[in-house]
Chains A and B, each alone.
Chain A
């Protein structure tokens, strides 16, 4: 191969490389960025529309699959006259696993039943009692317990600004179980630190 042929070949390769590089950069610039990974919760949240005058909008806190954050799902349910009635509606929605949004978890153990909701006006506290499955079927990781506690507490507190803290009970009794990691025996205040808001929610809050 003489020097001229070599030069021609070399420059051809250089030209091709430059064209490829510029094409790649242009393609990168034109590519639409991926949308925010916010699960589609609207599609299945409200399969049957409820008339607005007989319904209220409630916020439910679901857990992301990686157990790192909560995501709010907004639904319309039948109107309730009292705070405890509204809380009951919200928790019942949460316990209905068939309505779980895609890619989100309702971190309440399987088989758990809601027993009673009592709103204490004097200390702005909600006492909420579940069946024993809440504790017995808990998977045992400290993160699972964290998720269960704050899913319930945040959902309850979201139903009324008057709610200051929430006492979780089992069969009407304070939870005092040595096999649990977290201390469930005292009330919890809502904690929105680990809540992921969508763009629209973030802008309005």
Chain B
């Protein structure tokens, strides 16, 4: 059999090109939705293992009823029924009205454009529309999709003009540099300068958590909470004390065989003029199927309800001040919680046994209420979960967790005093 090279090449390469063209068309399709007798033609695209629609296409169907924040990638549409629907790039949650719904599909940014999962559009943006596949009727496409005026004017951001017929779909534009610099901003204040030869000084109080006689310390896995929290606290103290500028104190969890109350532990930290309060806990959840770690800080909003004994507090002004002492440090507590959360999430995502909560949680916690310094409560995991109990019992894991908490404390203290921590740059 004789081959003619050019002919052979043409015969074989032609179907290759055809199949590649097919692949291109297979990765997108035309969808036509009908909502209140109004056609809604959309072109969907296959991106990142899902079917997406460019956000700019949707703008046509929500004239004067959308807003876009280019910096955060947040788009908000107002549906015909007046319900606000918010989507954000990289976020699986969709805001519908005042409710947050987990959809399992993220909005994405692709080639500097915002794309929204088609399923989210069907379910939340245009819930009543009937969809069918196929090329949209050009006549229908050219109709002004939504003709009535917006039910609620939305002046916070730039409103899109109604796009004239036969105009190509506009892309969502990011604010120009001139727009950005024209926006009034908070005047820049340089960070407080500090002597670079001295590191920040701090007294850190570590609260190792549940005492051994408490009922909660007997857990289904027979591994006691206090064994883990005590060892991690010891490791943390050793790391902190490597710096001559730091001092560590432990709350006395026991006094003559009697467990100290949370108020007494907080009072100890206050009397020691401590700079930070770290409570390390490790309890159990209602299930042994999963393991969840979490970080809590005091939230004054949850604490705003009147106390049970108003008369006694009115009579004793001292106790009133005690109750609200933490409120001077709410923001710093949140910042501390965030840096610890960042470090622990990094470690837990590597180990893949414990899941870190999505963000630090506000709470109304007994041991944090009376503090006159930033304080957080760390729950390391679920001791009812067998793998977690085994994992947290290992001395190497305890050392690594202590090291991560130490990095966070160090970062926080350096940042507070205006230093750039060398450890933070190493860890990142």
Contacts and interface: CB of A to CB of B under 8 A. Distances in A.
A27 B7 CA distance: 33
B96 A203 contact: yes
B200 interface: no
Given A28-B46, A142-B281, A186-B308, A181 B12 contact: no
Contact of A22 (B22, B104, B215, B363): B22
Instruction: In the A-B complex, list the 9 residue pairs whose CB atoms are closest, starting with the nearest.
Output: A140-B216, A140-B283, A141-B283, A22-B23, A11-B12, A139-B284, A26-B26, A4-B3, A178-B261
B96 A178 contact: no
A171 B19 CA distance: 75
Interface residue tally on B, bucketed by range: 35 or more
Given A7-B5, A15-B15, A22 B20 contact: yes
Contacts of B302: 188-189, 191
Interface stretch (A33-41, A49-57, A81-89, A113-121): A33-41
Contacts of A7: 3, 5, 8-9
B98 interface: yes
Interface of A: 3-4, 7-8, 11-12, 14-15, 18-19, 21-22, 25-26, 28-29, 33-34, 36-37, 63, 65-69, 105, 107, 136, 138-144, 146-147, 165, 167, 174, 178-183, 185-189, 191, 195-199, 201-203, 205
A29 B366 contact: no
Contacts of B140: none
13 contacts: A14-B16, A15-B19, A25-B26, A25-B46, A36-B104, A65-B287, A139-B285, A139-B384, A140-B283, A144-B286, A178-B259, A199-B123, A199-B127
A37 B182 CA distance: 45
Nearest to B284: A139
Nearest to B23: A22
A183 B101 contact: no
B109 interface: no
Given A4-B3, A18-B16, A179-B210, A29 B26 contact: yes
Contact of B210 (A34, A136, A140): A140
Contact of A15 (B12, B124, B363): B12
B26 A22 contact: yes
A142 to B, nearest CB: 5
Contact of B366 (A34, A139, A183): A183
B201 interface: no
A25 B261 CA distance: 62
Contacts of A142: 281, 283, 294, 296, 363, 365, 377, 379
B101 A199 contact: yes
Nearest to A8: B8
A183 B364 contact: yes
B367 interface: yes
A205 to B, nearest CB: 5
- Summarize A's interface: helix, strand, loop or mixed: mixed
A186 B305 contact: yes
Contacts of A139: 216, 219, 283-286, 384
Given A8-B8, A29-B46, A186-B307, A34 B22 contact: no
A100 B100 CA distance: 24
Contact of B219 (A140, A187, A195): A140
A147 B281 CA distance: 17
Interface string B361-385: 1011111010000000101001010
B379 A141 contact: yes
Given A22-B22, A33-B119, A186-B308, A138 B261 contact: no
Contact of A181 (B23, B127, B367): B367
Contact of B363 (A182, A185, A203): A182
Nearest to B2: A4
Contacts of A198: 101
B97 interface: yes
B283 A146 contact: no
B101 A11 contact: no
Given A22-B26, A66-B292, A182-B365, 4 more contacts: A29-B27, A140-B219, A178-B260, A202-B101
A11 B285 contact: no
Contacts of B366: 178, 180-183
Interface in B145-194: none
Which one of A18, A180, A191, A205 has the highest number of Cβ atoms from chain B below 10 Å of its Cβ? Answer: A18
B289 interface: yes
B83 A203 contact: yes
B12 A12 contact: yes
B335 to A, nearest CB: 20
Contacts of A65: 287, 289-290
B410 to A, nearest CB: 25
A74 to B, nearest CB: 15
A60 to B, nearest CB: 16
A201 B123 CA distance: 12
Given A22-B20, A140-B216, A37 B104 contact: yes
B214 interface: yes
B372 to A, nearest CB: 18
Contacts of B104: 34, 36-37
Which one of A65, A201, A203 has the highest number of Cβ atoms from chain B below 10 Å of its Cβ? Answer: A203
Nearest to B4: A4
Contacts of A4: 3, 5, 8
Given A7-B8, A199-B101, A141 B285 contact: yes
Interface string B282-315: 0111110110101010000011011110000000
B103 interface: yes
